[in-house]
Amino acid sequence: MAEFKEISPNASAGAKLTNWFENRFPTAFYEYKKHMSEYYAPKNFNFWYVFGALAMLVLVIQIVTGIFLVMHYKPDAALAFGSVEYIMRDVPWGWLIRYMHSTGASAFFVVVYLHMFRGLMYGSYRKPRELVWLFGCAIFLALMAEAFMGYLLPWGQMSYWGAQVIVNLFSAIPFIGPDLALLIRGDFVVGDATLNRFFSFHVIAVPLVLLGLVVAHLLALHDVGSNNPDGIEIKDNKGPDGIPLDGIPFHPYYTVHDIFMVSVFLMVFSAIIFFAPEVGGYFLEYNNFIPADPFQTPLHIAPVWYFTPFYSMLRAVTSEMMYALIACVLGGALLGVLKGKMSTLFKGIILAGAVVVVAMMLSIDAKFWGVVAMGGGVVILFFLPWLDNSPVKSIRYRPDWHKYMLAVFVIDFLVLGYLGMLPPSDIGGRVSQLGTLFYFGFFLLMPWWSTLGASKPVPDRVTFAAH
């Protein structure tokens, strides 16, 4: 509890008012300093550091537009499609609110993917920022749930059949699968009950979780301090006042910086909303302008673009692919036993574990393992802080070939995403199988490959050229 401060009766009205509030609500002043005016961020942030702020902006856009959409939307299988068209036609500026929300969904994934890529590049997930990364991964997971359930609400053909396909995946889980799928749907097929529970989750449950996680993500970040493109700790070089020499107050320097980048972002965002809201069928799928029809399955069901890399992984796991995966498990276990420095007992456990996993892989349908691959593709991100053994954080000081590795990883992710949008094909299937193996190989072999090669000397102070 802060001391009660008396103020001179001659002070200005503004100062008196501030003093009045500061005596009654000191927390607000303290937190403002901690997170804004006296939060010292490295001065060498580059372009890539704007996507966190942009993700926050898009979150606000989604919440505000969502509030207005809910005022007119009807979560009822008979009325949902019509109510969306009602918003598009009869609600004043409804089309703008709806397009902001639909474009915002895709924009959210664009900025979050770029934000995550930034983390990968500069090692932002490494000690002491592991929790920041974990909260971030949880946000990504919540965001996927939010997007998936939101996509059912317009009740178009793609909404309906996309939900049908994804919920059916849960039924591939041994023993509990069919009951779990039933629990999610609330019915034997996707129907009114599904729409109502997805609506509830989309507008209440998941946003609450998302907001809580965002707060945790930011608090944890502000406790340990931001990483930077050089991947060095600015807190290691403090001035006599205890302030990092390479740190600058977040407000005003990064607030003005972010406002500038926000306006650039809004230009792109608005260009899409006003001139190409469907983005050629990628942001709003054409088939979704046909009302949901449980009796007519569309020829080709594709998830929205942001899910397609993981959807590709799901489709890549065929019964043929299982042999490749089994070989990987056995190879991995053998390598661990031969090369690892551990007790004989532990080696035995690894071998036995591998045998059990292979037995399961042989006995359970490939469809289930496809679901495991799809989920694993997201879950593996959580382990990144403990997979990376490189002596330096930032890609700037890593061996050159790490850059190519990261570049191939990005290309791989994009190719998987592209293939996930297409109907299955032989060659596409082969490429996505290779892509899936590379995706998991990138992470699972990281403890090994991240130690290879000579890293460059890391400077003591950040590299910065005055603007």
Partner 1 sequence: MKNIKHLALGLVMALGLATGAQASTGGIAWDKAPGKTTDMASLQNGAKIFVNYCLNCHSAAFMRYNRLTDIGLTEKQIKDNLLFTTEKVGETMKAAIDPKQAKEWFGANPPDLTVIARSRAGAGGTGADYLYTYMRTFYRDDAKATGWNNLAFPNVAMPHVLWQLQGERKPVFEEKEEHGHAVKTFKGWEQLSAGTMTPLQYDQTVGDLVNYLQWMGEPAQNTRVRVGVWVLLFLGLFTFLTWRLNAAYWKDIK
**Contact residues for partner 1, defined by CB under 8 A:** 43, 82, 85-86, 88-90, 95-96, 99, 248, 252-253, 256-257, 259-260, 262-264, 266-267, 270-271, 273-275, 277-278, 281, 286-291, 299, 401, 404, 407-408, 411-412, 415, 418-419, 422-423, 425-428, 430-431, 435, 464, 466-467
Minimum distance, C-beta of residue 343 to partner 1, in the bound complex (Å): 38
The residue among 96 and 169 lying less far from partner 1, judged by its C-beta, is: 96
Cross-strand partners of 248 = 41
The rounded distance, in Å, linking the Cα atoms of 181 and 173 is 9
Minimum distance, C-beta of residue 175 to partner 1, in the bound complex (Å): 37
The residue among 309 and 385 lying less far from partner 1, judged by its C-beta, is: 309
Minimum distance, C-beta of residue 330 to partner 1, in the bound complex (Å): 25
Who contacts 96 (Cβ-Cβ below 8 Å, separation ≥6)? 273
Distances (CA, A) of 87 to 69, 83, 211, 301, 362: 8, 6, 27, 26, 51
Minimum distance, C-beta of residue 256 to partner 1, in the bound complex (Å): 5
DSSP string spanning 315-371? Answer: HH--HHHHHHHHHHHHHHHHHHHHH----HHHHHHHHHHHHHHHHHHHHS-HHHHHH
Minimum distance, C-beta of residue 133 to partner 1, in the bound complex (Å): 27
The residue among 187 and 320 lying less far from partner 1, judged by its C-beta, is: 320
Minimum distance, C-beta of residue 350 to partner 1, in the bound complex (Å): 31
Minimum distance, C-beta of residue 164 to partner 1, in the bound complex (Å): 19
Minimum distance, C-beta of residue 329 to partner 1, in the bound complex (Å): 24
Beta strands in 8-105 (DSSP E): 40-42
Which tokens is 359 given?
């037995």
The residue among 265 and 369 lying less far from partner 1, judged by its C-beta, is: 265
Q: C-alpha angle with apex 388: 382 to 394, nearest 5 degrees?
A: 105
Residue 410 has φ and ψ, to the nearest 5°, of -65, -45
DSSP string spanning 369-429? Answer: HHHHHHHHHHHGGGGHHHH---S-SSGGGS-HHHHHHHHHHHHHHHHHHHHHHSPP-HHHH
The residue among 168 and 312 lying less far from partner 1, judged by its C-beta, is: 312
Minimum distance, C-beta of residue 79 to partner 1, in the bound complex (Å): 12
The residue among 231 and 247 lying less far from partner 1, judged by its C-beta, is: 247
The residue among 233 and 278 lying less far from partner 1, judged by its C-beta, is: 278
DSSP 23: H
Give the Cβ contact number of residue 271 at 10 Å. Answer: 10
Closest CA to 387 of 446, 329, 340, 441: 446
Minimum distance, C-beta of residue 70 to partner 1, in the bound complex (Å): 19
The one-letter code for the residue type at 362 is: L
The residue among 181 and 248 lying less far from partner 1, judged by its C-beta, is: 248
Residue 41 has φ and ψ, to the nearest 5°, of -105, 150
Distances (CA, A) of 464 to 28, 230, 395, 459: 33, 10, 17, 12
The residue among 142 and 261 lying less far from partner 1, judged by its C-beta, is: 261
The residue among 82 and 178 lying less far from partner 1, judged by its C-beta, is: 82
DSSP 124: T
**Helix, strand or coil, per DSSP, at residue 185:** helix
